[in-house]
Structure formats: C-alpha cells, structure tokens
C-alpha cells in the first residue's frame, strides 16, 4: 500500500515537471562579440531564475537551453536547428549578432519557431518575417541620432570606418543612405576586420580628407584599436562610435583613448543620471542593481536587449500560450511597454517597436558614461 | 608614409617569429606550426603576471621569459621527442596538433576575451617625418633588434651556439663530435619559445592578446621566414621587416582586408620564383 | 587490379540504409549529412596526403569555390542547381590545375605553405568581393534544390540524395584504392626519386590528382551550399582545412575507410561535447597528437590490427 501511495505521489509530482516552458537561447558568448553575448547570457539566466522562483510563467517553470554561437553565423544555424529539432523549444531568444540573425531568419519560419533577436540590423524585421522580433534599437535610429547631433553642431564632413561583419555592414549602409537626408557629406569610407590589429593605414587615409567627424561602426576589440590609433595619429576630428561599444569593456580596452568619444546608446548606462521622474528610470535602475549585484560587473545595454527580448517572450506565453501563432499574435498586441532600450510599441507591422527616442547621446569622460544633449 | 612606421613595428614581431622558425628549422629541419602560439602564450603570461598577480614589470618579465624556456623545452619533449620513426609529414602535423592544443589551453585558461595590459613605459607619441610612432611601438622595434643581435652573438661566440650550428650542418657528424643532439633540439625549442614570448610581451600593450592570435602571427612569421630565406638568420629579420612594410603599404592603398591576400601573394611569388628566398642558402638534401 | 573489398562496401550500404530508418529526428539526420560531406572532403584530403604525399592546407578553398560558384552562377543566370554544381566542379578543377602547375613543383613544407597561401587568398577574396559573394555576412540567395525535376528539400530527401552521392563516391574511391593508380601515387609518396626512375611522370600525375580531388571537393561544396541554404566564408577557412587534415590522419592515411571514420568521429564529437564545449579544441588537438604519436595508421589501422588479431587466433 505504501508503495502504491509512493508511486501515485511521484506521478502527481512529476506532472508539473513535464509541463514546462522550453526556451532556447543563442548568444555569442565567445568570439569577437563576446562582450555583447556574455551579458546577454547572464541576464537571461538571471531572469529565468527569478521567474522560476515565483512559479514560472503561467504556472509553468522555464527550462533554458542556451548555446554559444561563438559569433559565427554557421554555428548559429546549427545550434538553432538543434534547439528546434532536438530540444524542442517553444521559442528562441537571440542571436547576438546581426549576421547570425539574418542567417537564421528563414529558419524561424521554416521550423515555425518564434525568434526574439538581440541584434540591431533593421534588416532583421524589414522585410517582415512573422516569426521574427527584435529588441535592440535599429542602426537606422542610431545613425539618425548621430547625424542629427552633428547637424545641430553644424558639422557635415564625415569619414566612416566600419567593420566587415553583419553589424558593420548594416551600419555602413545606413550611414551612406541617410547622409543626404541630414546634409552629411561622406568624405572617406574605410573598413576594418574584427581581427585587425592596426588601423593606422585606414586612419591616415581618413585624416587626409580632413573630416569634421570620424564615425566608427563595429563591436569587440577592434573599435578600441581604432580609438587608440586615432589618438596616436593625433587626429583632431571628433570620434564617434556606434552603440556596438556601449560596454565598460570598450573603455577598458581603449584606455585613455576613450576619453571624449561620443556614441548613441540606450539610457541604461546613465540610469542614475536621469531625472527622478523619468519614466524609464525605474525599470533601468532595478535591472542595473539586480545585474550588478548578481554578477559583480557593470551592466551593459546588450544585457538589456536580452532583458527586453525575454519580456516579449514572457508576455507572449502568458497571453498567448506556447502555440507559435498565438504567441506571435499576443506579442504583436503587446501595446506600449517600457523596456531597457526604450519605450516599445510592437505591432503586426513593426516587430521592433522602437524609434530614435530610444537613444540618448553619451560622451565617455574619465572612464565613465556621461549624458549629453 | 605612416605605413612605414606601422610596418616596421609589426614587421619586428614577424621578424622575431621568423627567427623562432629558423632556429628550430636549422637545428631540426622541422617547421613548427605552433610558433605563433608561443607569441600568444607570451601575451597571456605577461597579462597574468601583471594584471592578476600584480607583480612589477621588472619581476614579471624575467619570470615570463623563464617560463618560456621551460614551456619550449616541455613542448619538444612532449610533442617532438615522442614521435617514433619521424618523417616530414608526421613532424609537420604534430606541430599542427600542438598548436591546436595550445590554443585550446589558452582559451580554457584565459577565456575568449581580448586581454590588455598597461604600457610598460610612459605613453608618448613621437612626431617623425611623415608619420607618428608611439613609445610602445618603438619598444617593440628596439627589443626585437636587441634580441636579434644577442641571439646572433650567442650563435657566433658561445660554445653552445657553435654546437647549434654544428647540428645544422650535419647532425650525425655533430653527434660523433660529442654534441648532444637531443639536448640541442630541446634547447632550440626553448629558445624559439623565448623569442615568441618576447614578441608576445611587447605587442600586448599595443594590440591586446586573444587566444586566437597565434594562427595569423605564426603564418605571417613563417611567411617572413620564407621571404627572407628559410634557415637564414638575418634573412628572417629582413623578411619580417619587409613583410610588415609590404602589408602596411597595401593596407594604405587597398581595403584593409586585401592586405592579407597580398602578403600571401608575395609568399607565393617567392616560393614559385625564388624558393630559397632573398638570403637563403641551398642545402643539399638526401634523395 | 586488386580485389575490391565488397564486404566493406556492403557494410557502408547497410549502415546508410539502416540509418535512414532508425533515425527519424531531423536534427540527428542533419548531423549524419554533415558527416557525409566531411567524409568526402576528408577522403579527398586523404588521397592527396595519404596516397600522394601532398599536404594541401588550402583544401577548404576548393570546397568554398564549389559552394560559392554553384550558388552564384545559379542565382545570376538562373541555371538549374545540378548543372551549376557540375560547372562549379569543373571550374574548381581548372583553378586547381592553374594553381597546381607552379605549386606542385614544390615539396614538403614549401608545398604546405604554398597551398596554405592559396587557401588564404581565396578566403580573403570570399570576404572582400562582397558584391558577388555577400562578404562576411554570407550568401543567402540560394534557391531550392532539385535533381532532374525532383525537388529535394529538407533533411529526409537530402539524406537520400547525399547518401547516394556518398555511396557512389565510396565505391569509386574503393576502385581507385585497388587500382594501379593508387600504387603509382603511393610509390611517388614513398620516394619521388625512385618512382621517377620507373618512368612515372610525377608532376603530371600529381597535377591530375590535385585537379580531380579539387573537382570532387567542389562538387561536394555545391551540394552543401544547397543543403545548408546559407554559406559564409568562415566555413571555408584555414580551420576547416586543418579539420580535414585531422579527420584524414585520425581516420587513417592511405586507406579507404580513413576519411570516413575520421569524419564520423570528429563530426559526432561536438554533439557529445555540448556541455563541455570549452574543451573541444583541446580534445581535437589531443586526438590528432595521439594518433600521430601512437597510432600512425589511424583508427583504420587500429581496427585492421584488431581484426587481423582475431583472424589469426
């Protein structure tokens, strides 16, 4: 009798174990984009833990399957298929990089699995793919913000130096396309690779055109080298970076050369500098404190992208359930919500929901971020 | 003309790596595909000693150099000596295996991120005709030249150095004369590792160290050695500097991605047209 | 011609067929498909290194040339995929012929360096010529694959197609292994001087082998591109050439099963390592090192020894 009761007890306990939400995640934890991928991984793990402590989503615990894409598009594809076919996840958050996301965009549709990307390129959601959402601000908005800033300062001669990867490529396209609209003149168009160790040749060519500002678009250690080389060559053009370097690690690598660099970024980095009644402040400060306490390292906007993606996913499960069509339609009707990147307004035709207001302009000063206007 | 300065800087690193290749090649006839990994290890070691243990540079550097000798010797014992009935293919592929293992160890021990160290001497930018040179870069150039000179003195003057040269000329004859060929081989690897680590130490403040650095550094160093003539001491140095300057030049006229292609095109040209390189010696080979 | 090892071929056939029935999960099927691609590439590498003594450290470039040429030509001219793959294969053989002409006159590490240089140049071109290749972001404009009107899409149908190609290749390889040509090559590998005095035109033979394996590898690359639906330069870089080298050596140089076993082991390895992914590289290197030091005949040599031991008992 005792045995029978024991078995029944086990079965009753096991039932909720089987009812779980399976969440897949793909981040560039290693490779050149690792200072984006690692905070994303840590943020997601932290959030899943928190959510499970309070009973999960809609009463079901979340089981996380997280893989490292190593920053490689081919790896992202392989691991995505694994998540869908072997781990049978309900949705995937990530990948970190634009290139990787574009490489798996069609797979999301093929395998009918919603994808909440943490990458920036606007091509992720344009043309629209029913299954693909993205949480970061687009490079279009970043470029617009930068050009606006320059225009207000009366500057118009711009030299661009971009990375040869999905993110840099995307940024470069936007920089070239939007130049006319804001009255910018592109006087130089140089490129560098993630693994390059010396950019003095490109910067020398740039300095010969005497630009008002140099805009560098990349992620990882390479932009830090661009900063150092710019300093070394004594170029006095304004140095502007993309939101790809919105991480303390960049300041660490660039050292003194980071001083005075301007970039667009989410408000997360300067959460404390916002006014007390700013509508974003609460979400940002809460996330910042939780992350920094848990991981003993500075918060970064990239971790924030994972946070926002998880919010979308969570809402989709709560209001729609695990079936892809229902989840997607729920997220599309999410209405306005405040995430770390800004105020989102996701609709059926806009799977990103952010605009230029999601960015603020920052300046690096004394090894820290400073809000400028 | 900036490219000349950046070219000489990166060229000095290639020169050190090329020297490492040449020393091993001269004493053993082996091409060490893991030479680049020694450079990576050098960077990692100095990072650990400076940033993690907080040692002052004057203690950390000699420690790193000592570790280099030890690592090089260990490398030879573990990978080279254990190959029974060695032939060319086995020796080339074992060093490839070694480079993979060292890279993997680098990743596991130091992680995947790029690691930086602070400059060893105060940062200054020197205004030179048609370009600038940082104090760090100057350090690289000076250290490389000093190392090359010291090494060449070692080979010319010391008895150990003479033993090395004897092994290059004829292993068997050297053995008959009482030279411990096996020990010399181990020393060759130790010195090559030392050269690699020196390169790694001086280059890290400028361009960080990442566990994958070894591949390209090794390949370019090897290319430099071939350019200068495999086996030629000063050829390696010349080859390194030339390669660095070529690369810098091509980066200033073409999109930087192509510069690697040009470096290899030059190598192919050398291999096809003048395989013994600029200063190489012909060595009689058994048929 | 020596006797063809029919039991081996039949074994391969049985394994291929039973795999299709035993494995239903698309993910695992995809692993096997990648394994077959690797096996063909590794076997070609094996023919070069294990039979002829040519270290082709740029071999991945031919795989890439096949992949890119096939999909670019199909996208630009609207050609049938299969025809595009055949054209890619011929193109690659031509490139190999042109490259091989000066390169194969070199030996040992000079040859290794030259092939490596060539591989690097191709890799740079794949990255830089973005207007054709899509650059580092890769090439996405790959149409659906069809073979003489039969549409092939998805793991199940691709498995059958690739398995057939793989089996045909294995049969041809086995025939090659037992033919006079393979002896000629091994003779060249053993001693060029001696084989020359036998009247063998070493250079012509090497050039032939180099071109043919490049063509086969490119053919394989074309199919890979259509299967994968996405290609980017990173799959065809120096690292992949080293992987092929590892597969060929670990599997067993100079043997037919060598490339297959090596590819099987090293393709499956990451699957078991998913939780200790960090150590994958070290393990890879150790496999290679251990094989070179202790098992010169690779796993095939080991298996042969075990089988012989049993036979003689």
Question: Which span out of A332-336, B83-87, C160-164 was modeled with the highest average pLDDT?
Answer: C160-164
Question: Which span out of A74-83, A274-283, B63-72, B123-132 was modeled with the highest average pLDDT?
Answer: B63-72
CB contacts, 8 Å: C284 with chain B: 100, 104
Q: What is the pLDDT of residues B214-246, one digit of tens each?
A: 988 998 898 899 888 888 888 899 999 999 998
Residue-wise over A119-144: b if at least 16 C-beta within 10 A, else e? bbbbbbbeeeebbbbbbbbbbbbbbb
User: Taking Cα atoms as reference points, which of C210, C211, C162, C215 lies closest to residue C188?
Assistant: C210
User: Taking Cα atoms as reference points, which of A140, A69, A190, A198 lies closest to residue C232?
Assistant: A69
Structural domain spans, chain B: 12-211
CB contacts, 8 Å: A107 with chain C: 229
Instruction: Give the pLDDT confidence score for residue A10 in this predicted structure.
Output: 63
Interface predicted TM-score of the whole assembly (ipTM), two decimals: 0.87
Instruction: Give the confidence band of B286 by pLDDT, cuts at 50, 70, 90.
Output: very low
Residue A354 has pLDDT above 50, yes or no: yes
Would you give the DSSP letter of residue C275?
A: G
CB contacts, 8 Å: B255 with chain C: 128
- List the single best residue of B3, B9, B36, B112 to mutate versus A (max A Cβ within 10 A): B112
Q: What are phi and psi of B149, to 5 degrees?
A: -65, -45
Q: What is the pLDDT of residues B55-109, one digit of tens each?
A: 888 889 999 999 999 999 999 999 988 888 888 888 889 999 999 999 999 988 9
Round to whole Å and give the CA distance between A362 and A253: 18
Q: What is the pLDDT of residues A240-290, one digit of tens each?
A: 999 989 888 899 889 889 999 999 998 888 888 888 888 888 889 999 999
Strand, coil or helix: A246: coil
Q: What is the pLDDT of residues A127-147, one digit of tens each?
A: 899 999 999 988 888 999 999
Q: Both tokens of residue A102? A: 């574009």
**Chain A closest CA to B56's CA: distance in Å?**
20
What are the CA-CA distances from residue A264 to residues A140, A238, A364, B61, B156 (Å)?
12, 14, 11, 40, 59
Structural domain spans, chain C: 6-236
Domain A139-265 has CATH 3.40.50.2000: no
A234 with B132: Cβ contact below 8 A: yes
Structural domain spans, chain A: 2-137+284-355, 139-265
Task: Indicate the residue of C105, C121, C292 with minimum beta-carbon distance to B265.
Answer: C121
What average pLDDT does range A340-363 have in this prediction?
89
What average pLDDT does range C67-79 have in this prediction?
92
Instruction: Give the pLDDT confidence score for residue B287 in this predicted structure.
Output: 44
Instruction: Give the pLDDT confidence score for residue C37 in this predicted structure.
Output: 96
Taking CA atoms, what residue in B is nearest to A252?
B116
Q: What is the pLDDT of residues B242-260, one digit of tens each?
A: 999 988 888 888 876 787 7
Q: What percent of chain A has pLDDT over 90?
A: 46
CATH class of the structural domain A2-137+284-355 = alpha beta
What average pLDDT does range A39-54 have in this prediction?
93
Total Cβ atoms within 10 A of residue C116: 27
Residue C158 has pLDDT above 50, yes or no: yes
Instruction: Give the pLDDT confidence score for residue B16 in this predicted structure.
Output: 94
Round to whole Å and give the CA distance between B43 and C133: 36
Q: What are phi and psi of A223, to 5 degrees?
A: -60, -30
- Residue B27 near residue B246, CB atoms below 8 Å: no
CB-based burial of residue A152 (10 Å sphere; 0-12 exposed, 13-18 middle, 19+ buried)?
A: exposed
Q: What is the pLDDT of residues C206-261, one digit of tens each?
A: 999 999 999 999 999 999 999 988 888 888 988 899 999 999 999 999 899 999 99
Round to whole Å and give the CA distance between A333 and A347: 6
């Amino acid at each position: 009798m005792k045995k029978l009761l024991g078995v029944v007890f086990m079965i009753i306990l096991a039932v909720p174990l089987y009812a779980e939400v399976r969440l897949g995640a793909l981040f560039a934890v290693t490779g050149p984009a690792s200072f984006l991928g690692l905070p994303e991984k840590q943020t997601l793990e932290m959030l899943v833990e928190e959510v499970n402590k309070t009973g999960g989503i809609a009463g079901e615990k979340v089981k996380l399957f997280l893989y490292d894409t190593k920053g490689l598009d081919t790896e992202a594809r392989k691991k995505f298929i694994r998540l869908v076919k072997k781990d049978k996840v309900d949705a995937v958050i990530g990948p970190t990089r634009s290139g990787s996301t574009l490489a798996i965009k069609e797979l999301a549709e093929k395998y009918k699995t919603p994808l909440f990307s943490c990458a920036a390129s606007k091509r992720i959601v344009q043309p629209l793919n029913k299954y693909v959402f993205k949480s970061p601000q687009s490079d279009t908005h970043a470029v617009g913000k930068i050009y606006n800033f320059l225009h207000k300062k009366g500057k118009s001669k711009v030299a661009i130096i971009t990375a040869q990867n999905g993110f840099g490529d995307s940024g470069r396209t936007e920089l070239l396309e939007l130049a006319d609209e804001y009255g910018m003149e592109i006087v130089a168009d140089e490129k560098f690779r993630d693994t390059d160790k010396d950019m003095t040749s490109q910067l020398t060519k740039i300095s010969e055109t005497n630009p008002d500002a140099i805009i560098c678009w990349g992620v990882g250690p390479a932009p830090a080298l661009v900063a150092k080389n710019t300093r070394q060559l004594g170029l006095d053009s304004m140095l502007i970076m993309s939101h790809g370097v919105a991480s303390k690690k960049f300041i660490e690598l660039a050292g003194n050369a980071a001083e005075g660099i301007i970039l667009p970024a989410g408000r997360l980095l300067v959460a404390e500098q916002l006014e007390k009644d700013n509508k974003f402040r609460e979400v940002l400060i809460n996330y910042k404190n939780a992350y920094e306490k848990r991981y003993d390292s500075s918060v970064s906007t990239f971790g924030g992208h994972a946070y926002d993606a998880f919010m979308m996913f969570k809402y989709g499960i709560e209001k729609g359930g695990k079936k892809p069509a229902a989840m997607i339609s729920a997220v599309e009707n999410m209405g306005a919500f405040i995430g770390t990147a800004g105020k989102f307004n996701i609709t059926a035709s806009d799977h990103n929901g952010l605009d230029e207001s999601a960015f603020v302009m920052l300046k690096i000063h004394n090894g820290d971020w400073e809000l400028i206007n | 003309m900036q490219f000349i300065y950046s070219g000489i800087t990166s060229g000095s690193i290639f020169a050190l790596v090329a020297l490492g290749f040449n020393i091993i090649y001269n004493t053993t006839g082996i091409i060490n595909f893991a030479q680049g990994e020694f450079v990576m290890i050098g960077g990692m070691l100095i990072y650990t000693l400076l940033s993690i243990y907080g040692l002052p540079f004057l203690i950390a550097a000699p420690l790193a150099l000592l570790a280099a000798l030890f690592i090089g010797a260990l490398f030879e014992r573990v990978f080279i000596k254990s190959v029974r009935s060695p032939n060319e293919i086995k020796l080339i592929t074992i060093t490839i295996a070694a480079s993979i293992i060292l890279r993997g160890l680098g990743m596991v021990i130091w992680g995947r991120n790029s690691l930086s160290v602070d400059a060893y001497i105060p940062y200054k930018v020197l205004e030179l005709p048609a370009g600038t040179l940082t104090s760090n870069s100057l350090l690289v150039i000076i250290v490389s030249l000093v190392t090359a000179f010291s090494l060449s003195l070692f080979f010319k003057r010391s008895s150990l150095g003479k033993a090395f040269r004897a092994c290059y000329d004829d292993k068997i004859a050297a053995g008959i004369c009482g030279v411990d060929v096996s020990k010399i081989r181990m020393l060759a690897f130790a010195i090559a590792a030392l050269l690699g680590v020196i390169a790694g130490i001086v280059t890290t403040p400028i361009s960080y160290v990442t566990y994958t650095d070894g591949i390209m550094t090794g390949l370019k160093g090897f290319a430099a050695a071939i350019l200068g003539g495999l086996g030629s001491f000063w050829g390696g140095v010349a080859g390194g500097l030339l390669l660095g300057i070529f690369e810098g030049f091509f980066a200033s006229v073409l999109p930087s991605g192509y510069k690697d292609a040009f470096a290899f095109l030059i190598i192919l040209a050398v291999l096809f047209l003048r395989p013994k390189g600029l200063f190489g010696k012909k060595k009689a080979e058994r048929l | 011609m020596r006797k063809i090892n029919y039991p081996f071929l039949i074994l391969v056939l049985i394994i291929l067929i039973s795999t299709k029935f035993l494995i239903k999960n698309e993910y695992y099927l995809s692993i096997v498909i990648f394994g077959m691609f690797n096996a063909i590439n590794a076997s070609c590498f094996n023919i070069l290194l294990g039979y002829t003594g040519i270290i082709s450290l740029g071999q991945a470039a031919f795989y890439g040339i096949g992949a890119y040429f096939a999909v670019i030509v199909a996208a630009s001219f609207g050609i049938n995929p299969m025809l595009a793959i055949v054209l890619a294969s011929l193109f690659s053989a031509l490139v190999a012929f042109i490259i091989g002409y000066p390169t194969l006159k070199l030996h040992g590490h000079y040859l290794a360096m030259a092939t490596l240089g060539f591989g690097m140049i191709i890799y740079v071109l794949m990255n830089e010529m973005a207007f054709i290749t899509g650059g580092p972001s890769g090439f996405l404009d790959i149409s659906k694959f069809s073979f003489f009107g039969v549409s092939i899409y998805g793991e199940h149908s691709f498995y059958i197609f690739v398995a057939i190609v793989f089996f045909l290749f294995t049969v041809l390889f086995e025939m090659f292994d037992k033919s006079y040509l393979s002896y000629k090559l091994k003779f060249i590998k053993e001693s060029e001087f001696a084989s020359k005095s036998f009247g063998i035109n070493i250079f012509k033979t090497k050039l032939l082998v180099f071109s043919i394996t490049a063509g086969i590898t490119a053919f394989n690359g074309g199919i890979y591109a259509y299967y994968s639906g996405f290609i980017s330069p990173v799959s065809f870089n120096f690292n992949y050439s080293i992987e092929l080298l590892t597969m060929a050596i670990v599997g067993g140089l100079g043997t037919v099963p060598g490339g297959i076993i090596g590819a099987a082991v090293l393709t499956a390895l990451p699957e078991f390592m998913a939780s200790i992914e960090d150590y994958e590289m070290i393990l890879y290197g150790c496999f290679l090192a251990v094989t070179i030091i202790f098992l010169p005949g690779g796993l095939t040599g080991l298996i042969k020894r075990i089988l012989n031991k049993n036979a003689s008992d």
